[in-house]
Amino acid sequence: MLLPVIRTVIFDLDGTLVHSLPGIAASLNRVLEQNAFPTHPESAVRGFIGDGMRMLIERALPHPISSNTLDTMVIAMKDDYTLTWKEGTTPYPGVIETLTSLSKKGTAIAICSNKPHVFCQKITDALFPHITFSKIIGQRDGIPSKPDPVGAIKIAAQLNTPVSETAFLGDSTIDLITAKNAGMVSIAATWGYHDPPALAAENPDYSIDHISDLLTTITPTV
């Protein structure tokens, strides 16, 4: 099988590059408990992740819930997570080595996440200090959340990479749909937070079980 020539790889963050579920769940539950709402086990929080912090909290709260309460909870979690995200957030095995190898081969690496942009920047600065990401786009005003492809297409355009030579690697169906919406090569990461059967149902171009498999799935530029 002829492997695609890829000049840029766009990565999701949570569940793809970093195992952040413990930190997210702990922060969410602290805020829920402080506001007298029921808390959730990590196994449940795992299913809340993928559509940004606001949707995470909305899924965790009992319904119906007012928009004012939701706004207050989002602010509270942002404040808590700012102070605590380092507790329970680590790179997956092989991530640093794989990113380093791609960079050495001349492949641009970028991040497109539904996590608030400020946290994407903090996490990459702290956990990947020796990795140069060509572009990082997290959830922020002016760029719609995935699966809208605007963020991914913006990254490819700014890096002067045709979408056909751009791969999008993520652990969620949202990421795979984003890749397809953008006309990019879709690669499912099966080690993350979404169930492999759901990923397979989206018919990704490729599916890998370890991030190092990426190096034999694409043909990087040299």
Amino acid letter, residue 117: H
The answer to whether residues 126 and 17 touch, using CB atoms and an 8 Å cutoff, is no
Candidates 12, 14, 171, 175; catalytic one: 12
What does 104-145 look like in DSSP terms, one character per residue?
HTT-EEEEEEEEEHHHHHHHHHHH-TT---SEEEEEBTTBPP
Residue in the structure block whose two tokens are 């652990």: 171
Q: Are strands 185-189 and 18-19 parallel, antiparallel or unpaired?
A: unpaired
| Residue 51 falls in the annotated catalytic set | no
DSSP label at residue 14: B
- Residue 150 has phi, psi (to 5 degrees) of -55, -45
Which are the catalytic amino acids?
A: 12
